[in-house]
Amino acid sequence: MAPNGTVSASLSPFGVARSTVNEKPLSDEEVRKYDNYFKASMYLCLGMIYLKENPLLREPLKLSHIKARLLGHWGSDAGQSFTYLHFNRLIKKYDLDSIFISGPGHGAPAVLSNAYLEGTYTETYPDVTEDVEGMRRFFKQFSFPGGIGSHATPETPGSIHEGGELGYAISHAFGAVFDHPDLIALTMVGDGEAETGPLATSWHSTKFLNPITDGAVLPVLHLNGYKINNPTVLARISHDELENLFRGYGWEPYFVEGSDLESMHQAMAGTLEECVLKIRGYQKQARDNNAPFRPRWPMIVLRTPKGWTGPRKLGDHFLEGFWRSHQVPITDVHSKPESLAKLEEWLRSYKPDELFDKEGKLIEELRELAPEGHRRMCANPVANGGLLKHKLKVPDFRTFKFDVLKAGVSEDGSMSRFGTFLREIVRNNMDRFRVFGPDETQSNKLDAIYDAGKKVWLGDYFDEDADGGNLVFNGRVMEMLSEHTVEGWLEGYILSGRHGLINSYEPFIHIIDSMVNQHCKWIEKASEVEWRQKIASLNILLTATVWRQDHNGFTHQDPGFLDVVANKSPEVVRIYLPPDANCLLSVGDHCLRSSNYVNVIVADKQNHLQYLDMDAAIAHCTKGLGIWEWASTDAGEEPDVVMASCGDVPTHESLAATALLREHLPGIKIRFVNVVDLFKLIPAAEHPHGCTDAEFKAIFTEDKPVIFNFHSYPWLIHRLTYKRKGQHNLRVVGYREKGNIDTPLELAIRNGTDRFSLAIDAIDRMPQLGNRGSAARELLLNRQIGARNYAFHEGVDPEDLRTWRWPY
């Protein structure tokens, strides 16, 4: 018994339809047809889970027809398919341009069955024909080794949202409709998914959608009632709370609740139509008056039983309308003949003989219910974004260069300079490029962009906003303090054929580790799917980096995103750490033009020393790593020591260490190496960018000490180079999780990455220096202590360290 008699009847998913809209737009004949279409789809969903032979039950069901291993999820299929097929009617009636986003976990059968019924599946995969044999293949491949998955994977026509990890349906949908003014993204949101943080905040996306230049998202919150083993929160709060919640989020909720098929068909048809008309009405209002505003966009709350149309009970246990229908609904068909019989009875209850003709094709009167050509949601080219992708018009990045007259002497803001380049990209690509970020674009010194495109804001305005608020209805910069939402928008935007970049503080990019993982996985699989065209790369610009988070303290110091990215497929990921502005421009240009990658660029936002003129920068970035001869003293000979760096602040300190060595130990042969493209370090066999052992040796030697100053955790370098000969000579320093409220110098010293520690490390590895080395070591140690004491008392590093320049 439920505790204390709080059983709620009003929230039951069963019974005759209760709905906000009470129109009955369908004739009896239409109800019959849509119901049959629904049954056909349900039959396919169930068939996918169970059958490998005898797909249309033309002979009695036997064990040999059943897959050996039963996999797949039944729970959310009905509600999703129900929504899909009723939207088909409106697509035909109003010639809508729509895609379908399937948020609920493991809901692929709903999408796959509809793709098959409307013919898209067979067009995409000609061997899966619309006949008995094709249906057999269609069934067997599902959740079968070598086949297709239970999510809307890249193999699924019409999908831009796999839904393997939950929470991103709404943000992906918004990303897809930005700058696609005619598009409607019909978006199913699972009520389990709706409990995730990313989904819970993404409802606010309406404050960033322009009704003139953007399309619309029509969310259908599927109150399926249960997750794996639990009720969902939103299915167990009062109707009043639920309605308030969505009004609070800024939507107009329409309810469709029940299980009775006839009335539910009418209710869903009428409600979807009302929503489409509302959407078109708001768009027309804004567009006719050229006056953008934020309407209360419609959304639907669809409450149906989990596992709808399945058996209500199996033995003593609830199935339909309970969490037991989440996955494979009858699990013991292999061992219990009566369960096999029950399955057969259930399959036959959909009357497949009446829905599919003799060849096994959907009968014509049902086939007519689906739209045609690209209007079919699974055939919409938006969902194969590479098809629509126009080239990004990138101005010559060289024109934004910093004139480096002498390396290591002038300072410049690499990031603000990069901002001017981004500004021109925005200006040249107003219909296809946006910049995303969680409230940090200005803090990250990229505000030059605002000259070409300001921040989109459809919330209310205050007078103060005129004082540099940079808010507009129709902008190019998308900022909300949710890394999840802005990342989701960007993913949706590029998956549907456009280009973009996200900028973030380095420490907080870990918040979207998992999203980026999932996008990498999507890209990798998509690139194996022949019909999928390449999409623009996902560009992640990380700044406010660890070495300049000395004052924000320990919580703001974490460069470990690179470790997460480095685990992903080498076909997909690229990591760049440009040491100065011209390198950042060169790398940025490359990334923005590329496709099907996840590019991570790490560069600090403060002013930094500049090293390479543009030609040198291009050459250096093209090679990915190289010797900086102007900083070296080995003159082409074997060096005594190699000073290597990767990252802008590390390069600065390594150069300063090199200068200290030259000052205190004139005559030693130093080679200075810089790495821009991190994957250059890995063996050529393991990453397309990896260099050969010969190339590696030519740079780092095989037997000389290498003092490698790395931007991130030092172990990543060891993980990339453990196979290299001479790796034992590699002394890598980097962030070792040592920090608090410090000066930049103190933070570096704690982690052994400051100039003094680096120079001392080098001396320690050159025993041949003898007493000369010991004396220099002592001196450097004293200078380090002196600088440290000064910083501790004054709160800033000594002037000479702050203004240090390359002296040669």
Touching a second copy, residues 618-677 (CB under 8 A): none
Pick from 33, 65, 67, 704: which binds a second copy (CB under 8 A)? Answer: 67
Q: Is 461 in the site for a second copy (CB under 8 A)?
A: yes
Q: Give the Cα separation of 251 and 30 in Å (integer).
A: 30
Instruction: Give min distance, CB of 268 to a second copy, in A.
Output: 23
Pick from 93, 127, 182, 233: which binds a second copy (CB under 8 A)? Answer: 233
Measured from the CB atom, the residue of 373 and 462 that comes closer to a second copy is 462
- The residue behind tokens 């890995």 is 682
Measured from the CB atom, the residue of 70 and 775 that comes closer to a second copy is 70
Pick from 322, 493, 696, 700: which binds a second copy (CB under 8 A)? Answer: 322
Measured from the CB atom, the residue of 550 and 604 that comes closer to a second copy is 550
Q: Is 315 in the site for a second copy (CB under 8 A)?
A: no
Pick from 88, 232, 283, 654: which binds a second copy (CB under 8 A)? Answer: 232
- Do the beta carbons of residue 455 and residue 426 sit within 8 Å? no
Paired tokens of 769: 């220096």
Pick from 36, 80, 150, 309: which binds a second copy (CB under 8 A)? Answer: 150
Q: Is 137 in the site for a second copy (CB under 8 A)?
A: no
Closest CA to 45 of 355, 328, 375: 328
Measured from the CB atom, the residue of 151 and 608 that comes closer to a second copy is 151
Q: Is 331 in the site for a second copy (CB under 8 A)?
A: no
Q: Give the Cα separation of 438 and 543 in Å (integer).
A: 12
Identify any residues that bridge with 291 across adjacent strands, giving them in sequence order.
Answer: none
Q: Give the Cα separation of 320 and 311 in Å (integer).
A: 6
Binders of a second copy among residues 467 to 506 (CB under 8 A) are: 467-473, 479-485
Cα-based angle 657, 663, 668 (whole degrees, multiple of 5) = 85
Binders of a second copy among residues 246 to 305 (CB under 8 A) are: 246-250, 291-293
Q: Is 429 in the site for a second copy (CB under 8 A)?
A: no
Measured from the CB atom, the residue of 358 and 723 that comes closer to a second copy is 723
Pick from 74, 255, 457, 547: which binds a second copy (CB under 8 A)? Answer: 457
- Do the beta carbons of residue 34 and residue 369 sit within 8 Å? yes
Identify any residues that bridge with 419 across adjacent strands, giving them in sequence order.
Answer: none
Q: Give the Cα separation of 329 and 808 in Å (integer).
A: 75
Q: Give the Cα separation of 494 and 507 in Å (integer).
A: 24
Closest CA to 713 of 578, 565, 500, 582: 565
Binders of a second copy among residues 365 to 404 (CB under 8 A) are: none
Q: Is 245 in the site for a second copy (CB under 8 A)?
A: yes
DSSP state of 66: B
Instruction: Give min distance, CB of 115 to a second copy, in A.
Output: 18
Instruction: Give min distance, CB of 619 to a second copy, in A.
Output: 30
Range in contact with a second copy (rule: CB under 8 A) among 43-51, 157-165, 355-363, 752-760: 157-165
Range in contact with a second copy (rule: CB under 8 A) among 362-370, 581-589, 762-770, 792-800: 792-800
508 phi and psi, to 5 degrees? -100, 5
Measured from the CB atom, the residue of 105 and 773 that comes closer to a second copy is 105
Paired tokens of 113: 């069955």
Range in contact with a second copy (rule: CB under 8 A) among 321-329, 349-357, 411-419, 650-658: 321-329
Q: Is 364 in the site for a second copy (CB under 8 A)?
A: no
Range in contact with a second copy (rule: CB under 8 A) among 263-271, 360-368, 380-388, 507-515: 507-515
Instruction: Give min distance, CB of 739 to a second copy, in A.
Output: 9
Distance of CA 598 to the CA centre of its chain: 9
Cα-based angle 281, 287, 290 (whole degrees, multiple of 5) = 140
Q: Is 68 in the site for a second copy (CB under 8 A)?
A: yes
Instruction: Give min distance, CB of 717 to a second copy, in A.
Output: 9
Measured from the CB atom, the residue of 2 and 635 that comes closer to a second copy is 2
Measured from the CB atom, the residue of 60 and 315 that comes closer to a second copy is 315
What per-residue string of b and e applies to 35-61 under the rule 16 or more CB within 10 Å gives b? bbbbbbbbbbbbbbbbbbebbbbeeeb
Measured from the CB atom, the residue of 202 and 539 that comes closer to a second copy is 202
Cα-based angle 347, 137, 49 (whole degrees, multiple of 5) = 40
Closest CA to 202 of 219, 186, 178, 214: 219
Pick from 19, 120, 122, 143: which binds a second copy (CB under 8 A)? Answer: 143
Instruction: Give min distance, CB of 736 to a second copy, in A.
Output: 9
Instruction: Give min distance, CB of 259 to a second copy, in A.
Output: 14
- The residue behind tokens 């709350």 is 301
Binders of a second copy among residues 3 to 32 (CB under 8 A) are: 3-4, 6-8, 11-12
CA dihedral over 94, 99, 104, 109, signed as positive or negative: positive
Paired tokens of 336: 């219990």
Binders of a second copy among residues 735 to 754 (CB under 8 A) are: 737, 740-743, 746
Binders of a second copy among residues 666 to 725 (CB under 8 A) are: 713, 715-716, 718-719, 722
Binders of a second copy among residues 163 to 222 (CB under 8 A) are: 164-167, 192-193, 195-202, 204, 207
Instruction: Count residues binding a second copy (CB under 8 A).
Output: 144
What per-residue string of b and e applies to 600-609 under the rule 16 or more CB within 10 Å gives b? bbbbbbbebb
Instruction: Give min distance, CB of 612 to a second copy, in A.
Output: 30
Q: Is 416 in the site for a second copy (CB under 8 A)?
A: no
Instruction: Give min distance, CB of 695 to a second copy, in A.
Output: 20
Paired tokens of 743: 């000066």
Instruction: Give min distance, CB of 645 to a second copy, in A.
Output: 20
For residue 340, the one-letter residue type is L
Q: How many CA atoms lie within 13 A of 421 on its CB side?
A: 27
Binders of a second copy among residues 74 to 113 (CB under 8 A) are: none
What per-residue string of b and e applies to 691-729 under the rule 16 or more CB within 10 Å gives b? beeeebeebbbeebbbbbbbbbbbebbeebbeebebbeb
Binders of a second copy among residues 552 to 571 (CB under 8 A) are: 552-556, 558, 560, 563-564, 566-569
Measured from the CB atom, the residue of 333 and 659 that comes closer to a second copy is 333
Q: Give the Cα separation of 347 and 516 in Å (integer).
A: 40
- Do the beta carbons of residue 397 and residue 587 sit within 8 Å? no
Closest CA to 499 of 383, 389, 380: 389
Element (H, E) at 502: strand 499-505
Identify any residues that bridge with 313 across adjacent strands, giving them in sequence order.
Answer: 318
Range in contact with a second copy (rule: CB under 8 A) among 332-340, 520-528, 588-596, 670-678: 520-528
Measured from the CB atom, the residue of 408 and 475 that comes closer to a second copy is 475
Instruction: Give min distance, CB of 803 to a second copy, in A.
Output: 15
- The residue behind tokens 């409106």 is 90
Instruction: Give min distance, CB of 34 to a second copy, in A.
Output: 29
Q: What string marks each residue from 26 to 65 as x (binds a second copy by CB under 8 A) or -?
A: --------------------------x-------------
Measured from the CB atom, the residue of 98 and 201 that comes closer to a second copy is 201
Residue 621 to residues 238, 242, 290, 750, 755, Cα–Cα distance (Å): 59, 54, 46, 31, 25
Q: Is 231 in the site for a second copy (CB under 8 A)?
A: yes
Pick from 405, 466, 635, 694: which binds a second copy (CB under 8 A)? Answer: 466
- Do the beta carbons of residue 83 and residue 98 sit within 8 Å? no
Q: Is 455 in the site for a second copy (CB under 8 A)?
A: yes
Paired tokens of 439: 């409230």
- Do the beta carbons of residue 59 and residue 52 sit within 8 Å? no
